[in-house]
Every structure is written in C-alpha cells, then in structure tokens.
Amino acid sequence: MPDNRNRLRPKQIKFFVNDKEYELIRKKMAQMGTDNMSAYIRKMVIDGYVVKLELPELRELTSKMKRIANSENQIAKRLNATGNIYEADIEEIKKNQEEIYEGIRKILISLSKIE
C-alpha cells in the first residue's frame, strides 16, 4: 500500500455508483469541460449543495388552481349555455387570478431565500 503521508491530499474517500449514475457523472463532467473525475467530484462535494425543497405553498397553490379551474369551467359552461357573462363571474375570475399571483409570489419569495 502506498504511503499517503506526503501527498497533498492523503485521505481517500470511496463510493460506488451504478452504470447509469456513472454515465450521468461523466456527462456532467463533459458539460463542465473536465475529464478529471477526482477534481470534479471533490469540487462538487465541497462547493456543491443539496437543496431539499419543502414548499407547502406549492401544494396549496396547486390545490387552489384546481378549484379555480373547476370554477372557471362552470362559468364557461354557463356562458356557452346562456350567452351571458355576469359581473360577478368577471369579479370571481379576477379574484382567482389574484390568488394565483399571490401564491406564486409567496413561492418566489421562499425560493429567493435559498442560499
């Protein structure tokens, strides 16, 4: 076994990947313009980070958008059946759009806080 005490980096870290993961690593290395896997992985491990997004606002917004779509479908059916659209329908659509905008704004604020 070689003596690693005089190496610039004497500690070795090993891990295993499957063929698909290996090819993905190689592809990402090529995108970065490097063929030095050790340097690439070291850089990613030290400077990279994993982001685990937990955005309950996104789940809430998705649910709200489904309710809004159903409501607007009902308005469209009524419009197609009667040929009339009411001020209340227009106000509901405006309110729904504002709710979607507000939900998206909250999500963007949450995302902007990720470092």
| Structural domain contains residue 10 | no
Tell me the pLDDT tens digit for each residue of 3-59. 777 889 899 999 999 999 999 999 999 998 999 999 999 999 998 876 667 778 888
Average pLDDT of span 90-110: 89
12 vs 26: CA distance, rounded Å: 20
Give me the domain span that covers residue 23.
15-48
Q: Given this model, what pLDDT does residue 101 score?
A: 92
95 and 69 together in one domain: yes
55 vs 109: CA distance, rounded Å: 11
Is residue 1 pLDDT above 70, yes or no?
Answer: no
65 and 108 together in one domain: yes
Strands (E), 1-115: none
| Structural domain contains residue 95 | yes
| Structural domain contains residue 4 | no
What is the separation, in whole angstroms, between the first and last Cα of the chain? 42
Q: Residue 98 to residues 65, 91, 94: CA-CA distances in angstroms?
A: 11, 11, 6
33 and 65 together in one domain: no
pTM value is: 0.49
33 and 62 together in one domain: no
Q: Given this model, what pLDDT does residue 85 score?
A: 87
